[in-house]
Structure 1
């Protein structure tokens, strides 16, 4: 599998090259957005890592232009720590995932695992859910894309009266589950309502990178976040 890494910092490129080559990937690097896009057109990599802040063509513009090519590559954005707004903008542009600098092996593994699973899923898979209730515990399994267009389907999972005898709700996300800014707002509204009705909420199977953005959004104040266990 081919991976392209775009970053204007040579130490970062060297680190990615070292790790990803050791994992068995065919790794290409570019030191700016313009060279990265030219290399992308030449090799059509399955996965792209791009820094979000670069001189000239930045990472979000790289993402936009890759989307326009029609080539189905998973794009992972490299952000500065705490850069919540840029991370959300990347999700709105259908980025596969994002990781923070300095890059940790755990976050890298998590992003790679999600990207590889998303490659196996249909593009623009609609949001779907299924439920299982037992002994006051409701499990809701969610997959696909939770965006503004999925609002009606998502809200239907939490219809009035469904939680009269429920003490706890577990939202379990599919391995390739996708959420953008609108989806996060929908999720926060539902979790807040459940908490107000004294129903505890657990969100399971989150990538470590999604845990970070959910924490930045404040969801961890209303629900317990459980991270998927990725290989180190």
Structure 2
């Protein structure tokens, strides 16, 4: 698979080139957004990494233009450490994932794994929230893109008459899951309302980078997170 990395810092490009080539990817690089967009049109990569802060055309503009050319390409945004607002802006533009600088190997591996799986989803499903109860555990599965428009699909879950039978809530997120600014607010509202029911919430199936983002947004005060390695026993 072809991967394009756009970043104005040469050491960052060298690091990506080294790691990604070792993983067997065909790696292309660009040192600014304009050049990156030209390379994108030329090589049509399946995955793009782009720094969010660059002179000239920044990473959010690159993301927006790539989405216009090909909505199915996996675009991973590279953000500064703790830059919550920029990460949210990237999610509003349907970024596939995001990683912080300095780039950690685990974060890179997680972003690649998520991008490859999402690349196989040709038509992302509409948002759905399926819920059931088993042995006292309320199980909620989220699929598709969670936005503010999903509130009508969330309401039946919050009004579910099986809640009194539950002692715990498991939130699972499949590979198609994504979220935007209003979706984050809606998810926070869901968590707060379930907390009023005095039920602990465990969130499962999220990528390493999504877990870090949700923690940065304050969701760790309302729920616990289970990493993929913990789920598989690795």
Q: Does the TM-score normalized on the shorter chain lie above 0.5?
A: yes
* Superposed displacement of residue 156, structure 1: 2.1
- TM-score using structure 2 length: 0.94
After the TM superposition, which parts of structure 1 deviate over 4 Å for at least 4 consecutive aligned residues?
Answer: none
**Counterparts in 2 of 1:1-232, with a 5 A limit?**
1-70=1-70, 72-229=72-229
Give 5+ residue unaligned stretches, structure 1: none
1:65-89, Cα deviation, whole Å (9 max, x unpaired): 1111136311000000000000000
Q: Is the 8 A contact 2:174 2:205 kept in 1?
A: yes
**C-alpha distance in 2, partners of 1:3/1:93?**
20
* Superposed displacement of residue 130, structure 1: 2.5
* Superposed displacement of residue 132, structure 1: 3.0
Aligned length: 232
Query: Once superposed, what is the RMSD of the aligned Cα atoms?
Result: 1.7
Paired residue secondary structure (2:229): coil
Paired residue secondary structure (1:213): helix
Q: Is the 8 A contact 2:127 2:150 kept in 1?
A: yes
**C-alpha distance in 2, partners of 1:123/1:97?**
18
1:167-213, Cα deviation, whole Å (9 max, x unpaired): 11000110231111111111110111111121111111111111111
* Superposed displacement of residue 124, structure 1: 4.2
Q: Is the 8 A contact 2:125 2:176 kept in 1?
A: no
The worse-fitting range, judged by mean Cα deviation, of 119-128 and 47-56 is 119-128
The worse-fitting range, judged by mean Cα deviation, of 91-100 and 141-150 is 141-150
Give 5+ residue unaligned stretches, structure 2: none
**C-alpha distance in 2, partners of 1:162/1:57?**
51
**C-alpha distance in 2, partners of 1:133/1:139?**
6
* Superposed displacement of residue 20, structure 1: 0.5
* Superposed displacement of residue 37, structure 1: 0.4
Q: Is the 8 A contact 1:206 1:227 kept in 2?
A: yes
